[in-house]
């Protein structure tokens, strides 16, 4: 990793990272305790609290309920949000009639603590609106997504009122808007305007919900067959903001890598995490690097770098799935990957080699961090470990995020 390419990344960190960023994922009291321990030089106490917090964040369960009337595309959405094709093993069954007879959990292929629940269609004979929530065990879900492929009906509205009464979050999704747009284009070839059609659909849905007694309804227009279009990013931003702080991270990491904005949000979230892993590296069993007066915990680096590769979909399995979906060869996608680290096995030998080769860069970053972050400077040798880990993760994150963007652009290329 060339230390010169890290200048921009390093300038983003300052002492505020140890204050404001921590509260986004770690409760305020815990963050203050961790910072206090660092300032006191009590690395054991800081490590214990930070390790526990990071473990809780990584393992936080997230349960998302997908509901609505039958035939609205619930199962299609379940597959789309998990990045699973309809014919892949473990996909939710789809069809023109109701195929879900009971709440069915589908775990995320990369994050097993994230579960998408495909709920039976509301209003079917077996699931009347009056006792629907009790039938599907509503208490287990973090939030509900109510899907309709036309206007939202009485069952949808009644369900939303019951969810609100039980103090749960819900969001309306108007699905299959691509079908409406195509039909409108066929009927009005000369006057067709996509923006106007979408506005009509949205306004009609909102009016319908207001008339039904739903105050300030939010409706997101989606095509589950082309998830990146229309209101997907607005919906993702809304969900991220409204989730409890300890569940935002896992939600964001679990999103399918379908667009550059998603990749950028993942990159920013992971960048803000780097100080936490670097702090943890201060006091755990450090591994000395021969010929380099810098130490860090190699195990932390291996684990975190592997997690980065998985989050950006550059592991072998994810690349194969993307190749199948885009109709390209895996070799074609790999051809735009510039970092040799991404396609190698991330193990102790590789990390030790990178640290040794990057001695000059590491020492430069150590000096920068220790001089700019007083808290780190106070822990002496631990500060060196912090800075080395920070340098390594910053460099790898930049490289893998850039590669992920190039791979996605290659996958989306249309043959000439």
pLDDT in tens, 279-299: 676 555 444 444 444 445 677
Highest mean pLDDT among 4-13, 136-145, 300-309, 397-406: 397-406
What contacts 24+ positions apart, CB below 8 Å, involve 337-345? 337/403, 337/406, 337/407, 338/399, 338/402, 338/403, 338/406, 339/396, 339/399, 339/400, 339/402, 339/403, 341/305, 341/396, 341/399, 341/400, 342/309, 342/314, 342/399, 342/400, 342/403
Interval 96-130: pLDDT, tens? 455 556 788 998 988 889 999 988 877 666 666 56
Cβ atoms of 149 and 73 closer than 8 Å: yes
Residues facing 105 on adjacent strands:
117
Cα separation of 297 and 335, whole Å?
32
Cα separation of 336 and 405, whole Å?
10
- Residue 169, classed as helix, strand or coil, is strand
The answer on pLDDT for 243 being more than 80 is: yes
Rounded percentage of the chain residues whose pLDDT exceeds 90: 14
Q: What angle do CA 184, 186, 189 make, to 5 degrees?
A: 90
189-219 residues labelled b (16+ CB within 10 A) or e (exposed): eeeeeeeebbeebbeebbebbeebebeebeb
pTM score, whole prediction: 0.77
Q: Select the more confidently predicted residue: 259 or 131.
A: 259
321-341 residues labelled b (16+ CB within 10 A) or e (exposed): bbbeebebeeeebbeebebeb
pLDDT score, position 406 = 93
Q: Select the more confidently predicted residue: 75 or 371.
A: 75
* Helices within 175-231 (DSSP H only): 177-187, 194-211
Q: Select the more confidently predicted residue: 258 or 41.
A: 258
pLDDT score, position 40 = 63
- With residue 114 as reference, give the H or E element that holds it: strand 114-118
Expressed in angstroms, the distance from the first to the final Cα of the chain is: 35
Nearest to 279 by CA among 10, 18, 59, 26: 18
| Pairing of the two strands 62-68 and 114-118 | parallel
- With residue 268 as reference, give the H or E element that holds it: helix 260-281
| Pairing of the two strands 62-68 and 219-221 | unpaired
Cα separation of 109 and 81, whole Å?
11
**What domains can be seen in the chain, in order of their start residue?**
3-58+258-412 (no CATH), 62-254 (3.40.50.300)
Q: Select the more confidently predicted residue: 52 or 345.
A: 345
The answer on pLDDT for 172 being more than 90 is: yes
The answer on pLDDT for 233 being more than 80 is: yes
Cβ atoms of 396 and 335 closer than 8 Å: no
Cα separation of 118 and 82, whole Å?
12
The answer on pLDDT for 58 being more than 70 is: yes
Cα separation of 108 and 82, whole Å?
6
pLDDT score, position 97 = 52
Residues facing 62 on adjacent strands:
114
Rounded percentage of the chain residues whose pLDDT exceeds 70: 71
pLDDT score, position 404 = 93
- Number of C-beta neighbours around residue 39 at 10 A: 14
Q: How confident is the model at residue 20 (pLDDT cuts 50, 70, 90)?
A: very low
Min mean pLDDT across 102-106, 131-135, 370-374 is at 370-374
DSSP letter, residue 413: P
pLDDT score, position 205 = 92
CB-count exposure of residue 23 (10 Å: 0-12, 13-18, 19+): middle
């Amino acid at each position: 990793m060339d230390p010169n390419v890290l200048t921009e990344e390093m300038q983003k960190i300052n002492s505020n990272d140890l204050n404001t960023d921590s509260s986004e994922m770690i409760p305020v009291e815990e963050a203050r305790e961790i910072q206090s321990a660092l300032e006191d030089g009590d690395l054991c106490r800081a490590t214990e609290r930070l390790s526990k917090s990071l473990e809780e964040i990584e393992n936080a369960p997230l349960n998302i309920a997908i509901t609505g009337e039958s035939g609205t595309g619930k199962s299609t959405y379940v597959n789309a949000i998990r990045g699973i094709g309809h014919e892949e093993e473990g996909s939710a069954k789809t069809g023109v009639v109701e195929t879900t007879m009971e709440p069915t959990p589908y775990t995320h292929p990369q994050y097993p603590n994230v579960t998408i629940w495909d709920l039976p269609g509301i209003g079917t004979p077996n699931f009347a609106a009056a006792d629907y929530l009790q039938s599907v065990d509503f208490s287990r879900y973090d939030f509900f997504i109510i899907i309709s492929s036309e206007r939202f009906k009485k069952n949808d509205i009644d369900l939303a009122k019951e969810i609100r009464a039980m103090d749960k979050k819900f969001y309306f999704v108007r699905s299959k808007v691509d079908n409406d747009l195509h039909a409108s284009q066929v009927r009005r070839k000369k006057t067709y305007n996509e923006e106007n059609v979408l506005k009509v659909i949205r306004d009609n849905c909102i009016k319908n919900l207001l008339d039904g007694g739903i105050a300030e309804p939010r409706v997101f227009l989606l095509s589950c067959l082309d998830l990146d279009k229309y209101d997907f990013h607005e919906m993702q931003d809304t969900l991220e903001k409204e989730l409890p702080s300890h569940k935002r991270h896992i939600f964001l990491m679990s999103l399918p890598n379908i667009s550059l904005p998603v990749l950028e949000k993942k990159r920013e979230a992971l960048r803000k995490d780097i100080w936490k892993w670097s702090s943890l590296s201060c006091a755990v069993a450090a591994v000395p690097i021969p010929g380099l007066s810098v130490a860090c915990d190699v195990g932390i680096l291996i684990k975190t770098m592997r997690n980065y590769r998985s989050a950006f979909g550059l592991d072998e399995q994810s690349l194969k799935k993307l190749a199948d979906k885009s109709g390209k060869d895996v070799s074609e996608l790999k051809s735009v990957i510039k970092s040799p680290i991404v396609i190698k096995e991330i193990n102790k030998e590789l990390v030790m080699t990178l640290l040794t080769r990057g001695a000059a860069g590491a020492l430069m970053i150590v000096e920068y961090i220790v001089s700019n972050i007083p808290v780190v400077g106070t822990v002496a040798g631990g500060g060196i470990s912090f800075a080395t880990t920070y340098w390594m993760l910053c460099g790898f994150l930049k490289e893998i995020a850039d590669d992920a963007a190039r791979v996605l652009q290659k996958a989306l290329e249309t043959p000439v």
